[in-house]
A and B are shown apart, each in its own frame.
Chain A
Amino acid sequence: MENSRKKKKAVTRRAFLQSLSGGAMGAGVASRVLGKEPRSIQSGPGEMEVFSSKRIALTVNGKKVGFETEPGETLLQVLRDRLRLTGTKRTCNRGECGGCTVLLDGKPVYSCHILAIQAEGKDILTVEGLASGDKLHPVQQAFIDKDGYQCGFCTPGFIMSSVALLNTNKQPSLDEIKAGLAGNLCRCGNYQKIHAAVAAASDAMRSS
């Protein structure tokens, strides 16, 4: 039943796709990989530039990092797969749950929903960049104190949304907290304690 063999000959992906491009299957794959209509594969080499990786630099948690990125790569993919900043979670990967929320110039965004190249020149803040050394951000501390989590998978996203909310509204009401966090899903259902954590963080930040 098993039918496997290890690849022996090195073939580039481009050459491989070109070799397939006559067939419908190949064309279909090529169009998905290249983000182009199938016919563009047969045109001049200039058309293939879209397929090439590009070197970009991002500012993540205050540090400038440069790396190769392929077209179509999301900020989430880059953060996790290339930079190994795995605090930012992939939960739905299509902008439905907020698990991948990071701050872009202070604004909360779903990192699965923007391309890495769109984040060039902007300040990216992830959950790993919140604490200063050993000192937790007041929102992080409040999530611990109020038990604002269960499994903890959605927590980094909630924390980033909470930080963004408190940066613009220092003393949100319960309804404002709910609205501010409505883009984040917690399957364990700990919303009440998450909201209490945000309120506690608001108190802590205003009194410090």
Chain B
Amino acid sequence: MKKEHLIEDPHLEYMELAQNPGSQTAASKQPATQPAAEFKHIGKYTPRIDGKKIVTGTAQFTHDLYVDGMLQAKILRSPHACADLVSIDLSQALSYPGVKAAFKLKEGRIKWAGEQIAAVAAVDEKTAEEALKLIKVEYKVLPHVVSEEKAMEQAAPLIQDQGNVQKSNEYNRGDIEKGFKEADIVFEQTYKTSWEVHQTAETHSSLAKWDGDNLTVWDSTQAVQSVRDGLARALSIPASRVKVIKHYMGGGFGSKLGLNDHTVVAARLARETGRPVKVVLTRQENSYCVGYRPSARMTIKAGVKKDGTLIALHFKNYNCGGIGRGDRCAEPTTDVYKCPNVKVEEYSVFVNTCGSRATRAPGHTQGTFGLEGFMEELAAKLGMDPLELRRKNYSAKEKGDTGNPYSTKGLDQCYKLGAEKIGWLKRNKKPGAGSGKIRTGIGMASQIWPGAGVPGTLADLRIYSDGSVEVECGTQDIGTGTRTHIAVVAADTLGLEPQDISVKIGNSDYPWAPISGGSLTTPSVGPAVRDAALKAAEYLKGLASKKLNTPPADILLENKKLVLKTDPSKAIEIREVVRGLPRPMVFHGERSEHPSTFAFQTFGAHFAEVEVDTETGKIKVKKVVAAHDVGRVINRQTAESQVLGGIIQGLSAGLFEEKIMDAETGTMVNPNLHDYKIATALDIPEIIPIFADVVDDRLNNLGTKGLGEPPRIPSSAAIANAVYNAIGVHVREIPMTPAKVLAALKRKEAKP
């Protein structure tokens, strides 16, 4: 049978890196397993080594760069969701005082409101803004469609030649029909998620500067290496002539992966004018021009035995990511629970709005909201404890117990730790069992996410002849504390303190490291740094062995010294050992391959406690306990912060966030932080992060996995399930606004 053509997933590169990390170079054959040593800093609380810069306002974000002769650019964007561009007249803008250059950026068909039309570079931002208004554009406005339902209708304007609905994913395991026949109970339900905008604190921004044929770009990016490669392609120049730098950035969450269109504009304007050009997007542009999480409408149908054993799962999803494809959301359904018969069908629906973008745990976040809401409702239908239903279908292997065994899996520990901490037994045995105006409830949700890291990641560690140490790595800190993680690993390996390590990152000229996305950074960069530091440690021990007259194996590195294991009084300072070296010694570290016979995933479970006002429909999240298995934790201080942030973003999406489109104009009606509400200090619950600390020695030399995405994944689902436990009816759609809660309560009354 001929296989049906599937459209590409827009975030495939991201997902492939996350799930199936391929080696960038031939990785060194370092031993996969290191002894579980006693670490001084790894796994403990280390304050950020760059904290002082942040709190004094001296950390340099791309927004904060001002260089001599710098021009500011502004971009004219289409006000129409669908139109043909008839003409652009730049003449008045070009003769406006202070304008140095102007370009057309578009020809032909415009497909979303916000598409780049033209750009202006001027002596300052205000002048550029005024000049934009002088650009005369003639559009032939065409019909548009911005709602998924309307786009699926026969009469809808066609967004893509192949149709507004296209298959984006399929997967089959076992025999789904046989599974349903063997089931005691067949249950089906539909869950929806909305368009969630990243809304990074720092809006997207780039500064481009040419020096002859060499281009330097400072960019607010999660991927200096990818932006370098992208710029070289876009400008048809050698990658060797492009350098991308990022010191600090105000959040990314997926919206700053890869090259942005406005960055190319800055580079072109800089080339045209011979002056550095900076572009800073406005909050409005950041709201509707740089992506969002695609929506999902997921129908899940399960065949289950009376004792709760899952024997068939059918996952059908319509995702919507504007003019681009939406996310594949099936993986939680195919992988979290043991199930022999699974069928997946996913379709992308196209509409006239900006293309979506990878958003913290793309696909898994939506898919988990669907699957975990479904499991909670299924448990009620079976009269089972929802946690027991999950344990009943616990899987030791990937692909629902049909693939490779997980190298380690601490989900059971997460269940135990989380359930104890929240007081799982306090929950309503039957959803909605309470009484009164204010109802309380407890719910939970499980999580998986790859987060294994990328073999081939490189890091260089340098020891100078004065004993000082620096690490160079072409990764970037997107706000998670990567500098500190690198320092902790290097310091712990060399008997130093984290502040002793000079960490140089955020420059595409440094040794290769992957994008900071997909929870890849720590399990990619950490092991590469560890590898380099272990090599350096061996070198230092070799030098010291001559001076201490003892074999290297008998020497330890601690307190900035090389110490004889058997007699700590015999010691020599590291700086003494390297004094007089003719040149700095460089040690190349590389992240090793991991075995292909095992599956590697992160796991977690969230437990939420909520109050629901049944008169107003308002939800108050009281407490969230988050238990995560991410292998060995490198820095508990920053790891906890990651968990807090993931939960708050999940809460925010679960209760408030939605990009809302106006059907008439085809534009976003809430492109700001007032109408697009995100969680504030007044909305947050008490949060208790717990780590299962399951070290995965097969995975890498630190036994560590990624943590960026995991805490975001089950957060909205656990809250929605707690609301279900409180009021006895599942809202099934985020954001769970008061109106939707009240509608759900009405649905319950109508169907007693």
Contact = CB atoms under 8 A, between A and B. Distances in A.
Contact of B645 (A3, A81, A150): A150
Interface in A67-119: 70, 80-81, 84-94, 96-97, 99
B51 A32 contact: no
Given A32-B133, A187-B200, A193 B641 contact: yes
A35 B130 CA distance: 13
A17 to B, nearest CB: 9
Interface stretch (B76-84, B90-98, B227-235, B725-733): B90-98
A37 interface: no
Interface string A114-129: 0000000000001110
A5 B93 CA distance: 11
B588 interface: no
A136 B248 contact: no
A70 B123 CA distance: 15
A191 B684 contact: yes
Nearest to A157: B201
Nearest to B269: A4
Contacts of A168: none
B59 interface: yes
A2 B283 contact: no
Contacts, number: 224
Contacts of B652: 189
Given A4-B102, A182-B681, A143 B95 contact: no
A26 to B, nearest CB: 8
Given A86-B63, A91-B201, A187-B200, A29 B130 contact: yes
Q: Which of B47, B280, B642, B673 lies at the interface centre, i.e. has the most chain A CB atoms within 10 A of its CB?
A: B673
Interface string A7-30: 100111100100010000100110
A196 to B, nearest CB: 11
A25 B92 contact: yes
B13 interface: no
B98 A13 contact: yes
B475 interface: no
B64 A192 contact: no
Contacts of B696: none
Contact of A11 (B97, B283, B679): B97
A202 interface: no
Given A143-B55, A153-B250, A188-B251, A1 B94 contact: no
Looking at A10, A12, A85, A147, the one whose CB has the most chain B CB atoms below 10 A away is A147
B70 to A, nearest CB: 11
Interface string A142-161: 01110101111111100100
B672 interface: yes
Nearest to B133: A29
B272 A4 contact: yes
Contact of B64 (A86, A92, A186): A86
A130 B52 CA distance: 12
Contacts of A48: none
A152 B250 contact: yes
Contacts of B249: 151, 153
A166 interface: no
A150 B370 CA distance: 29
B202 interface: yes
Interface residues of A, number: 73
A187 B251 contact: yes
Contacts of B681: 177-179, 181-182, 184, 191, 194-195
Contact of B47 (A13, A87, A147, A153): A147
Contacts of A87: 56-58
B646 interface: yes
A145 B54 CA distance: 12
Interface in B678-703: 678-682, 684, 686-687
A93 B687 contact: no
A144 B499 CA distance: 14
B445 interface: no
A63 interface: no
Contacts of A179: 681-682
Contacts of A156: 55, 57
Contacts of A188: 201, 251, 479, 641, 645
B645 A86 contact: no
A128 B678 CA distance: 28
B57 A91 contact: no
B130 A32 contact: yes
B346 interface: no
Contacts of B202: 89, 91, 151, 153
A153 B282 CA distance: 15
A25 B58 CA distance: 42
A34 B674 CA distance: 28
B48 interface: yes
Interface residues of B, number: 81
A176 to B, nearest CB: 11
A81 B124 contact: yes
A11 B742 CA distance: 62
A185 interface: yes
A33 interface: yes
B251 A96 contact: no
Q: Is the interface of A mostly helix, strand, loop or mixed?
A: loop
Interface string A166-208: 0000000000011101101111111111110000000000000
Contacts of A81: 66, 124-125
Interface in B271-293: 272-273, 280, 282-283
Contacts of B63: 86, 89-90
A81 B201 CA distance: 19
Contact of A86 (B57, B130, B136, B682): B57
B200 A147 contact: no
Interface string B122-136: 001111001001101
Contacts of A80: 64
A29 B678 contact: no
Contacts of A155: 54-55
Contacts of A2: 103-104, 268, 272
B271 to A, nearest CB: 10
B100 A6 contact: yes
B442 interface: no
A89 B283 CA distance: 13
B503 to A, nearest CB: 16
Contacts of A93: 282-283
A147 B640 contact: yes
Contacts of A128: 56-58
A50 interface: no
B648 interface: yes
B578 interface: no
A185 B103 contact: no
A20 B92 CA distance: 9
A193 B644 contact: yes
B270 interface: no
B130 A7 contact: no
B97 A13 contact: yes
Contacts of A7: 94-95, 97, 99-100
B672 A94 contact: yes
Interface in B350-373: none
Contact of B673 (A13, A25, A96): A96
Contacts of B465: none
Given A187-B678, A188-B251, A25 B56 contact: no
A65 interface: no
Given A16-B97, A182-B681, A189-B646, 10 more contacts: A85-B57, A88-B57, A91-B283, A136-B55, A145-B47, A153-B201, A187-B199, A188-B641, A189-B647, A189-B684
27 contacts: A1-B104, A4-B272, A13-B96, A29-B130, A81-B124, A86-B60, A92-B673, A96-B672, A130-B56, A136-B52, A136-B56, A144-B51, A144-B52, A144-B54, A144-B55, A149-B51, A149-B54, A151-B250, A152-B250, A153-B251, A155-B54, A178-B682, A182-B680, A189-B648, A191-B644, A192-B687, A193-B644
Nearest 8 pairs between A and B by C-beta? A87-B57, A189-B648, A151-B479, A153-B250, A144-B51, A86-B64, A189-B645, A152-B54
